[in-house]
Amino acid sequence: MAGPLTGIRVLEIPNIGPLQHAGMILSDLGAEVLRLDRKTHVDANTGLQGPYTARSILDRGRLSAGIDLKQPDAAGIVLALAEQADVMVEGFRPGVSERLGIGPDAALARNPRLVYGRMTGWGQEGPMAHEVGHDINYIALTGVLDMIGEAGGPPVPPLNLVGDFGGGSMLLVVGVLAALVERATSGLGQVVDAAMIDGATLLMAPFVAAATSGSWGPRGTNMLDGGAHFYGVYACSDGEYVSVAAIEPQFYAAFCERLGLDDVDGAQQYDRSQWAALKARVAKVFATRSRKEWIERFDGYEVCFAPVLTTSDALSHEHHAARHTFVTVDGVDQPGAAPRFSRTAAGVAHSAHRAGADTDEALASWGLTPDAIAAARANGVIA
């Protein structure tokens, strides 16, 4: 592998899934990422404990050293590693890394070129900064959750994609990459504060605009949230589902023709007063054929149509197979690296190593002497 981040060293302190996801992405892009896993996750006999397994996708591509950050001498080890790093990322609550002696001030004092990325749910400041929370809480407070769901029903959690991964890990990766680009000019690192509430709100930009302008109606009544008959999910006769997004007039015309809705006036596509009745009618039509039959009926027609696949179905779909969207690493099916690059291909370096499996090797490759490693182990700092 020679991804675009080859030569960049990243020190990752993985305590939450979105932080691990960010580390995974940076590794896929070619960075050398060292995971400093909790020593308590390293079992003396098997090296396996807690959430870490050899099949863990989020931990792929990196070496792992086990460390107890609460030990008095741990900060010295981490800061010594930070001196060798281009990037350091952590996901503690505000003030925790400072109390551990590995906060941004201490790290940047040792390495002024360091990009220090920190991820939280509520942000580093504000009246809720120190409160606990999870994805659903962050998207609830930002207005995201209120917009998702069927008309007349409760909000529906969209997995933990919007807050944790879209608003958290993806935002952190963008921030880290931007800071690395800026460093090429200034020669200095800086702190990247990635808050999930900020990232989720940023993802909502067009919908915030619609809501504040008065053009967004109640949940489930708008074009993109299932209110429109031409944009949504429908059940087929076999209990499977299909998705349609016939927004543009030419796609809508083909959509109506394939469904046999010859009497529907295309000029009234955006007449909201007609949507509920048409949605019920479209649902009845889709329920007359199986998903396979609808796939065949829409094949070759520009409608913006796709079957709703399970993950198992998606793994074997011909389009994904052609693009290698999913890859198999050590027998484990998983998403491949993205995006694609013309010269410096990204990819999965190797499957996940167990927590602490590479402690001595990794610390040595990052500049710690054998004596320093032995002393750290004797003091209970490393696994």
**Omega before 154 cis (within 30°)?**
no
CB atoms within 10 A of CB 184: 7
**Which pair of structure tokens corresponds to residue 326?**
């999913």
* Cβ atoms 246, 230 nearer than 8 A: yes
Residue 88 vs residues 14, 313, 354: alpha-carbon distances, Å: 11, 38, 21
Of 41, 25, 126, the closest CA to residue 355 belongs to 41
Residue 280 dihedral angles phi and psi, to the nearest 5° = -65, -40
**Annotated catalytic residue, options 37, 164, 193, 198:** 164
**Annotated catalytic residue, options 105, 130, 134, 271:** 134
Helix (H, G, I), strand (E, B) or coil at 10: strand
Q: Residue 164 catalytic?
A: yes
| 118: enclosing H helix or E strand | strand 115-120
What contacts 24+ positions apart, CB below 8 Å, involve 127-136? 129/93, 129/94, 130/93, 130/94, 130/95, 134/160, 134/163, 134/164, 135/160, 135/162, 135/163, 135/164, 135/196, 136/160, 136/163
DSSP state of 352: P
**C-alpha angle with apex 241: 337 to 211, nearest 5 degrees?**
75
Q: Residue 229 catalytic?
A: no
* Cβ atoms 195, 122 nearer than 8 A: yes
Site of tokens 């409608």: 303
Sheet holding 231-235, edge to edge: 231-235, 241-245, 305-307
Give the burial string for 315-330 (b: 16+ CB within 10 Å, else e). Answer: eeeeebeeeeebeebe
Task: Point out the residues that are catalytic.
Answer: 134, 164
